Amino acid sequence: MYIKEIEFLNFKSFGKKVKIPFFDDFTTISGPNGSGKSNIIDGILFALGLSNSRTMRAEKLTDLIYNPDSSNKPQYAQVKIRFDNSDNEMPVEADEVEITRKIKETGSGYYSYFYFNGKSVSLKDIHNYLAKAKVTPEGYNVVMQGDVTQIITMTPVERRKIIDEIAGVSEFDNKKERAMNE
Ligand code: ATP
Ligand code: MG
């Protein structure tokens, strides 16, 4: 499974509909400072519900809506991630999977919606689908700026925990501990 395309609509600096294609092996994004490279990564974290607003570099979720200083601010932002699922890593009968998140600003707050192949679902559903493809909020699928430094300054025991998590050993350790306690 891999990301084929990301589609932005009113998300952060993407004021109109912008589609960004990705390759199946390796994609790099380059551009001048402030051109929106990191905003693309923020879009992935947003659409897949992998992070809170802080790690997407916003005070609150509604700050993620495109906010031009000149004209009117739109009332919503949307990010759609199109995956190639021809290896069926996500257990659905579809070669292509689309995960979409939309936030709508209201007078008093905001609403957040998730869609899986066009069907309205909960964040928990999204996490369950992604977990089958080994994508989790606690996982290291997205390595943020500063994460590497953090890993270097960890104690050996903390670092070992991360390696166990990535290797999938922790799951069995947890199961073993539960069984021992029974
Ligand atoms: P660098 O090379 O410095 O890391 P970058 O390409 O990663 O830069 P980003 O941090 O992705 O750049 O983009 C920053 C830009 O996004 C800023 O110009 C900022 O004004 C703009 N931006 C962030 N949030 C919004 C928003 N809600 N509406 C409009 N523009 C926004
Ligand atoms: Mg950046």
pLDDT tens by residue, 26-76: 999 999 999 999 999 999 999 999 987 667 888 889 999 999 887 788 999
Most confident listed range (72-76, 117-121, 157-161):
117-121
Is the domain of 89 the same as that of 10? Answer: yes
Do β-strands 2-9 and 18-21 pair in parallel, antiparallel, or remain unpaired? Answer: antiparallel
Distance 40 CA to ligand 2 centre (A): 9
What's the domain range around 173?
A: 146-182
Residues 125 and 150 in one domain: no
Q: What is the pTM of this model?
A: 0.87
Q: Mapping DSSP to helix (H, G, I), strand (E, B) and coil, where does residue 41 land?
A: helix
Domain boundary (121, 138, 155) is at 138
Mean pLDDT of 106-110: 91
Total number of domains constituting the chain:
2
- Amino acid, single-letter form, for residue 99: I
Do 7 and 60 belong to one domain? yes
Specify whether 106 is located in the same domain as 161. Answer: no
Contact 19, 73 (CB under 8 A): no
pLDDT of the residue at 56: 81
Residue 34 Cα to ligand 1 midpoint, Å, equals 5
Query: Do 97 and 132 belong together in one domain?
Result: yes
Supply the pLDDT for residue 49.
Answer: 94
Shared domain check, 63 and 151 = no
Confirm if 23 and 75 have CB atoms less than 8 A apart.
no
Residue nearest to atom 3 of ligand 1 (CA): 33
pLDDT at 170: 77
Alpha carbon 27 to its chain centroid, in Å, reads 17
